[in-house]
Structure 1
């Protein structure tokens, strides 16, 4: 059985983690949709941009047209506002969405509502009503995500400005300690299977860009069990906690979705987006939660859209395919990508020994190459290539690239430029 999945907005950090989690799943067919031009276009092989934003009257009709065209089984939201919208519009949506019941979605979208729901629990931060008797206090928009609008309020004057701003805020005790995210997975009946805490070691724009597993013991397990029992979420979800002055963990937020940095816990054995699909499809599953030292650090990654039409690649051997005594892994990935697309690959080399023997020593199959051209004199590589249209040339040597570029006018690439040729879409 293949599950056809539509992700919206697919270019958000959440959408990119969902793509990473599902792109190799043999029983999933991924479709990405966004309402603005974003990175999703560079990673989702099946991609469409719509012009209706989530608060538009046309949003659901435009999604429904794509659901019908692609015969989508499940719609996966990749933004907090989209979770609430799809929960509210589930009756009009032409496919099931991986969202909780609408009242739960509303509670999770508003932090004041979340705290009110768990009123009396010792993990809820102490609320501040009206002006505080002591400062600093913590302020954050009740509806928001990441660290947007978060502020440490140091005096009554600033506090009054926020009260008068017309924006609903959460005002609570200041929590000076470490902050943690707890990735959780529940089965199709909402039974919690595993809670995996991780440290938010480095945060950028509200996103945990460096994270590692951490043991927090019974205290966090109790919080996870309480939230899971109250909300009965299906599949993957998470909550965030921070240490108070007395060292206790206090709740920041709960979100019924994939977290952008869940890739850490995923690499330890729990694929939250995939298991969420199973949970909403009524499929039984269990989890293998592994433990070993691991850290994840995230940074911007280059992806390219290159409009080059070529059906043959000419490739050097020394210091190109073989680099510093090892196989160039990125270039090997490109070779197999090209083979799958029917692109011919020609090895053209001035290698001092026998090229086939060297390929065998590095366990590179000579059958990869449509031809192996071994130049043993000073013949220019451009002459050996001849007049070939729709070809490209890869060589670490500037002299060789200059010869081919000048003589043949075909695109030439050094090793630092081949990343543009890799198609990340899946």
Structure 2
């Protein structure tokens, strides 16, 4: 049986787990996994059979690099993360060389999802989820007005850039902090309104910030799998359960939200919905049109999310998948000898920048 060549461009470290989940698939389909990263010693590359350095490029130049890589290595499936929107915009370039790209091709939707302000407006129109009270601001004066409005409604206030990943730029406004204690204590996401306003007022304008109510309940990541047409096949709600514990549990209202999101937006393959409770109501934080950073944990439910997305892209028939019951999970560190293309990494990364198959 011919091996399926699968390519990951620059991903998070957890792509190491995605690669192994695909490699150890339940159908016994042989795969060869290729990966690139600007850091040849990045952890994600340790899951690849063939690793190479990638250049620091943007726009069409980066897309052309990926196309050339896929062509020269006869890639069947490309699973992008970095510059996903540019890759989706030029997906036809990959079609032309016979490479299937696991990406949402609805460019309008993809642009909205990647800008939280625009996506919240879209959700308002559909009414399929509850969203937090919020304002989008780009000046200190707008920031002050937004803060005062939300505080007057009784909300604790937080803010985050509209275009970012993970927790980058996230801050919670707390005016009762002791600056001296903060200086000598742990780094926290808390900041006073006065300090935030002082920083923001140092410039005429800044990239859009979403100023919103802080939600105090459990936060859930709903890992979802859909086929190429966007038909939902699986949804696993996952939350932190203290320390390193993670709990995958059946929450009917969250599973219903996943079904409504799939029906409204038809996002293909893997995507993730982040919700957080407030007053018993789940409210939207964001949607990621890709595999989430914790997806390998959700796979302990018995659903191999990364492989099933690949199987769908290859034309395989998929049936809806459910997990039998709640699953409590955790993780421990695993020491690894760093290797690139089967050899131990003992020299500087610069000397390996041309490493390939």
Assess same fold via TM > 0.5: yes
Equivalent residue number for residue 246 of structure 2:
211
Q: What secondary structure is seen at the aligned counterpart in 1 of 2:93?
A: coil
Instruction: State the Cα distance separating 1:158 from its structure 2 match.
Output: 4.8
2:211 aligned with 1:171: yes
Match of 1:125 among 118, 127, 132: 132
Equivalent residue number for residue 19 of structure 2:
19
Instruction: State the Cα distance separating 1:13 from its structure 2 match.
Output: 3.1
Give unmatched runs, 5+ long, in structure 1.
204-208, 308-426
Between the aligned partners of 1:104 and 1:231, the Cα distance in structure 2 is 8
Tell me, yes or no, if the aligned pair for 1:42 and 1:304 is still in contact at 8 Å.
no
Instruction: State the Cα distance separating 1:167 from its structure 2 match.
Output: 2.1
Give the number of equivalent residue pairs. 297
Between the aligned partners of 1:103 and 1:280, the Cα distance in structure 2 is 22
Distance 1:269 1:198, change over 3 A: same
Between the aligned partners of 2:117 and 2:320, the Cα distance in structure 1 is 33
Between the aligned partners of 1:306 and 1:191, the Cα distance in structure 2 is 39
Relative contact order (C-alpha < 8 Å, sep 6+): which is higher? 2
Matches within 5 A, 1:32-47: 32-37=35-40, 38-47=42-51
Q: What secondary structure is seen at the aligned counterpart in 2 of 1:42?
A: helix
Q: What secondary structure is seen at the aligned counterpart in 1 of 2:235?
A: strand
Matches within 5 A, 1:143-292: 143-154=163-174, 156-158=193-195, 160=197, 161-162=199-200, 166-201=206-241, 210-217=245-252, 219-244=253-278, 246-292=279-325
2:90 aligned with 1:89: yes
Tell me, yes or no, if the aligned pair for 1:9 and 1:15 is still in contact at 8 Å.
no
Instruction: State the Cα distance separating 1:256 from its structure 2 match.
Output: 1.5
Q: What secondary structure is seen at the aligned counterpart in 1 of 2:241?
A: strand
RMSD: 2.6
- Name the stretch that deviates more: 102-111 or 297-306: 297-306
Between the aligned partners of 1:284 and 1:47, the Cα distance in structure 2 is 30
Distance 1:239 1:49, change over 3 A: same
Equivalent residue number for residue 392 of structure 1:
none
Distance 1:156 1:48, change over 3 A: closer
Equivalent residue number for residue 142 of structure 1:
162
Once the two structures are superposed, residues 198-228 of structure 1 have per-residue CA deviations (whole angstroms, 9 ceiling, x without a partner) of 112358xxxxx541112322x2133212211
2:330 aligned with 1:297: yes
Distance 1:254 1:292, change over 3 A: same
Which structure has the bigger radius of gyration? 1
Normalising by structure 2, report the TM-score.
0.75
2:69 aligned with 1:66: yes
Give unmatched runs, 5+ long, in structure 2.
137-141, 175-191, 341-357
Instruction: State the Cα distance separating 1:128 from its structure 2 match.
Output: 3.1
Instruction: State the Cα distance separating 1:260 from its structure 2 match.
Output: 2.3
